[in-house]
Chains A and B, each alone.
Chain A
Amino acid sequence: MHELGLMTGILKQVEQAAREAGAVRITCIRLVAGEMTEVLPEALEFALEALGAGTLAEGATLVVEQPRPRSRCTQCGYEFEHDRFHWMCPVCQALATELLAGRELYIKDMEIER
């Protein structure tokens, strides 16, 4: 979507947390962005490189975990993994399914040097 905007917010959050932890440098940032969100990891990496210069996160590596979508069938109760496009229950073919995972969008943790 607008990964530069997202990275601006991410850097603000991690820099504040890093200062509170007494860090001199952030070496790694780990994000979780489910496959159902509109986030592109490559664009985030570019944004970190572009916006991270001169911050505590300059040169930090970015790890983006992308959980696979998972749903539960509301008819038969079966739980299954799927891609972005197919949510039909593979057991009973019901379309009424409830999404359990895949829309995550959060900062998990980071590695710092003190």
Chain B
Amino acid sequence: MSTTVNINEPILGLNNRLAADNRALLDAHGIYLLDLIASPGAGKTSTILATIAALRERYRIAIIEGDIASDVDARRVREQGIPAVQINTGGACHLEAAMLRRALDALDLGALDLIIVENVGNLVCPTDFYLGEDVKAMILSVPEGDDKPLKYPGIFQVARAIILNKVDTLSLFDFDEEAFRASVTALNPTAPLFALSATKGQGIEEWTEWLAGQIDGKAQIDGKAQIDEKIQTEGKAQIDGKGN
């Protein structure tokens, strides 16, 4: 005879608990963590290098590089004299909280203000995985096309800031910036949109000043109250379906 057993547990419950632990650890050290998401080739590493150049005098920075294989990106960052930890996911298409924790354990957290995580190049899978970050930001590059918000709405909605990279190539591609901005605003009206060229330097200042404001804002608030709230909302969001 058949019996119904109630469960009501988040599917990503374990990941969320580990992410909350990561967040508590980061907050205890007063570190701001940015999870950067984009497709392969959108310019994640170039944007990170430009961000390092702009902010390294003000903040102690480290980078966590998520890739399926290789440590090419981590080496590029280390050449700048910035600590970098490579996570090779060995085929997995996104980072999870447990992987981030191993990378955090390899860093000297007492000597850092900002960690930027370069997630695996992918616009789908990283979207639903909370790592313990303060914000997720995403990069779309001009050659990818202005229709991407319509094809990958999830990431455009979860991101707290959106970067349009490679704007120096706008004249070479059939990219309708106005249509792109309209789609982004419809999906995510509150996220700021930064149009920049990471390799040419155009627009970098607006982006890094926004990021600096976020980091300084975190330093001024009571971290403990904020994590408690974050842990509750992340777990609950997956049961009641509200945005996180």
Contacts and interface: CB of A to CB of B under 8 A. Distances in A.
A100 B242 contact: yes
B221 interface: no
B1 A87 contact: no
B8 A111 contact: no
Please tell me the size bucket of the interface on A.
35 or more
Interface string A99-113: 111111111111111
**Range of interface residues on B (Cβ < 8 Å):** 35 or more
Contacts, number: 124
Given A36-B157, A112-B5, A106 B94 contact: no
A9 B12 contact: yes
Contacts of A18: 5
B238 A105 contact: yes
A34 B157 CA distance: 14
Interface string B1-15: 111111111111110
Contact of A101 (B127, B190, B241): B241
A86 B128 contact: no
A5 B157 CA distance: 23
Given A9-B11, A38-B154, A85-B153, A99 B3 contact: no
B125 A109 contact: no
Contact of A104 (B3, B14, B239): B239
A96 B190 contact: yes
11 contacts: A5-B92, A9-B11, A14-B7, A33-B11, A36-B157, A85-B186, A86-B186, A106-B10, A107-B7, A109-B7, A111-B4
Given A38-B154, A85-B153, A85-B186, 12 more contacts: A13-B13, A36-B154, A36-B157, A88-B186, A98-B242, A103-B237, A103-B242, A105-B238, A106-B238, A109-B5, A111-B3, A113-B1
